[in-house]
């Protein structure tokens, strides 16, 4: 069963790199924020898979919980900052 | 192989499939709102599937309860974050995408 988690985790890493394309070349800062949120969500699952592979899930699950909270708060703060600063250009 | 491994493997494979479709939507769709629609719903469902699969794999103990807590938190937090980003875009009068030769409204 460990090899199954390893293969799925590697596939998830490939998906993270595909999301990094949108973070790097996104047309403006809102696209970058959306891609960053997706990368954070995938990282949470990869952390839990790493915990299963190392057989230390009771430690990794706390790190994953904190990561979920920080990802949520970071996205909220970024959205509020973008809305208030008005520095995004209003076209595609 | 026990039956519980097969059940959790099926859940995690379903989660990986939804992650794949969400990433495909994030890369290929034409507009900011459509991209957000793909990742917002697809990632939420995929996280729920993966976390339920991991909780089933661990049986019933305190770690599994924590994983279920993360699932409930993500189920509340991910749509909220998506809503916040899309409101920030809409407040800047960020117009949705229309097809080239589409019908005019």
Residue spans per domain, chain B = 3-90
Segment 63-92 of chain B within 8 Å of chain A by CB: 63, 66-67, 69-70, 73-74, 77-78, 80-82, 84-85, 87-89, 91-92
Q: Indicate whether B105 pLDDT > 80.
A: no
Establish whether this prediction's ipTM goes over 0.90.
Answer: no
Please give the pLDDT value at position B83.
92
Cβ atoms of A51 and B60 closer than 8 Å: no
Q: Cα distance from A79 to chain B (closest Cα, Å)?
A: 5
Please give the pLDDT value at position B101.
63
Q: Indicate whether A29 pLDDT > 90.
A: no
Summarize pLDDT for B56-76 with one digit per residue, the tens.
Answer: 998 889 999 999 999 999 999
Band of residue A90 on the pLDDT scale cut at 50, 70, 90 = low
- B14 vs B30, higher pLDDT: B14
Cβ atoms of B71 and B52 closer than 8 Å: yes
Q: Is the pTM of this model over 0.95?
A: no
Please give the pLDDT value at position B103.
54
Average pLDDT over residues A25-48: 89
* Percent of chain B's residues with pLDDT above 90: 63
Average pLDDT over residues B7-28: 93
Q: Cα distance from B103 to chain A (closest Cα, Å)?
A: 20
| B43 vs B82: CA distance, rounded Å | 11
Please give the pLDDT value at position B24.
93
| A14 vs A27: CA distance, rounded Å | 22
Q: Indicate whether B99 pLDDT > 80.
A: no
Q: How many C-beta neighbours within 10 Å does residue B76 have?
A: 10
- Could you give phi then psi for residue B68, rounded to 5 degrees? -65, -35
Per-residue buried b or exposed e for B1-34, using 16+ beta carbons within 10 Å of the residue's own CB: eeeeeeebbebbebbbebbbebbebbeebebbbe
- A86 vs B66, higher pLDDT: B66
User: And the tokens for B5?
Assistant: 């491994």
């Amino acid at each position: 069963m460990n090899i199954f988690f390893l293969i799925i985790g590697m596939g998830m890493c490939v998906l993270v790199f595909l999301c990094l394309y949108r973070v790097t070349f996104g047309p403006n800062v809102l696209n970058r924020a959306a891609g960053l949120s997706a990368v954070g969500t995938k990282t949470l699952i990869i952390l839990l898979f790493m915990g299963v592979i190392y057989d230390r899930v009771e430690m990794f699950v706390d790190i994953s919980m904190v990561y979920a909270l920080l990802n949520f708060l970071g996205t909220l703060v970024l959205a509020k900052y973008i809305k208030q600063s008005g520095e995004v250009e209003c076209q595609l | 192989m026990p039956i519980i491994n097969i059940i959790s493997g099926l859940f995690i494979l379903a989660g990986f499939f939804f992650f794949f479709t969400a990433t495909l939507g994030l890369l290929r769709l034409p507009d900011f709102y459509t991209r957000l629609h793909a990742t917002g719903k697809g990632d939420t469902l995929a996280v729920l599937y993966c976390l339920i699969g991991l909780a089933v794999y661990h049986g019933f103990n305190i770690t599994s309860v924590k994983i279920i807590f993360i699932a409930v938190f993500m189920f509340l937090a991910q749509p909220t974050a998506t809503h916040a980003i899309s409101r920030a875009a809409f407040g800047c009068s960020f117009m949705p995408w229309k097809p080239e030769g589409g019908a005019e409204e």
